[in-house]
Structure 1
Amino acid sequence: MIRVLIADDEPLVRAGVRAVLTTAPDVEVVAEAGDGRAAVDLVLAHRPDVAVLDVRMPVLDGLDAAAEIHSAVPGTGVLVLTTFADDDAISRALGEGAGGFVLKTGDPLEIVFGVRAVAGGAAYLSPVVARRVLDRLAATAPRAAGHAGLGRLTDREREVLGLIGAGLSNAEIARRLHVVEGTVKFYVSAILRGLDVRNRVQAAIVAHEAGLIPRP
């Protein structure tokens, strides 16, 4: 069961997100918060698998909350939820360690897909913003640092990087490569260090820009 915290300052939005998530048999909402500070406190108390955070919240905004959660409870993944595909917000969210970015105006099931992906150690971007990320964010620090580090990766690590870029979780990569999941986690850690990027989303950007995504 994937344990989830929802944080949004609008009660109706929280109720809507909860209603969507409760349709998934493998998801359980364990806590809710109306501001970023309360979200961080509840993550510390409940240790959920995923925190779904709105960008704009009082006391502490969702992106600052994401940074604190990433630092204090790295085992809790962060899925950022927002109304607009703002480039600055996307860039900052990924820089603060968020594992996914979903629009409130998109298909509600994207929230379920995002929660499952982040809980499984994969990255998830709403299709509406994925192209913007690849077109605009790939030209910033992750691309420059990541492309410089590609030469430090082994052939196997480059293969794993391509599968990360394709959106596969650690378990899915393990099945594809016929190895245990622990081995994949070792590869992922080595890839992030080698590329000098902070998370899987930034690594996925490098994979796309380098043309490492395998054909379906």
Structure 2
Amino acid sequence: MKEELEKLVAAGKIDRQHVEPLLQLVQSGYAMHRSWGFGKIKAVDTVFARLTIDFPNKPGHSMDLGFASESLKAIPSDHILARKASDLQSLRQMAALHHLDLIKLVLQSFGGKATLEQIQQVLVPDVIADDWKKWWEVAKHELKKDGHFLVPAKKSDSIVYQTKEISLQERLIGEFRAAKGLKARLSVANELLKNLSDLTDKNTAVAEAINMLNVEIVSHQRTLPALA
């Protein structure tokens, strides 16, 4: 394909800077357009310098190769959107049996992190057609126990996938130290209690949490005596 595109450059039908983006589009087979959304590339015509792509509301759409290279972003074949287009059934099976694998796929498709809303939008209803809330509660419980995922307290913050595994205790103590204010620390302390049986050194974790809470309570009483 590169040789054919080089001929188009020589013929003046496309510019030199179009070659690499076009190669990426052809190799991936999928693309994203800012307005038309996700599409599957069906054919590349190097005679007339045009590309045919199926968008949800524009099937069989024909585009000039130069314009396509500038307006389309190649989507890798292992991206969640590409997998939905090519192998939806295996994703549904993954959703039923391997929750963490599915969430990892979604997060890696979005650069290693995504909000809960983004995850829901890409999975429902195509991959998960049943009770999303029930599915997510089970999955979230698994996420919090797995050292590769950082699950934020706020729903609006991103869930993060990290290659290096961090123990549950290390993550919760880290969140506790980073929490600002008595209310925030009490919230993390509640998570510590819920996961006490899964901590590697529960005595150390509880002792540190109690010490920091005591300091926070004293500070709270000093600054807001009427509310203490």
The higher radius of gyration belongs to 2
TM-score higher than 0.5: no
- Provide the TM-score with structure 1 as the length reference: 0.28
- TM-score w.r.t. the length of structure 2 is 0.27
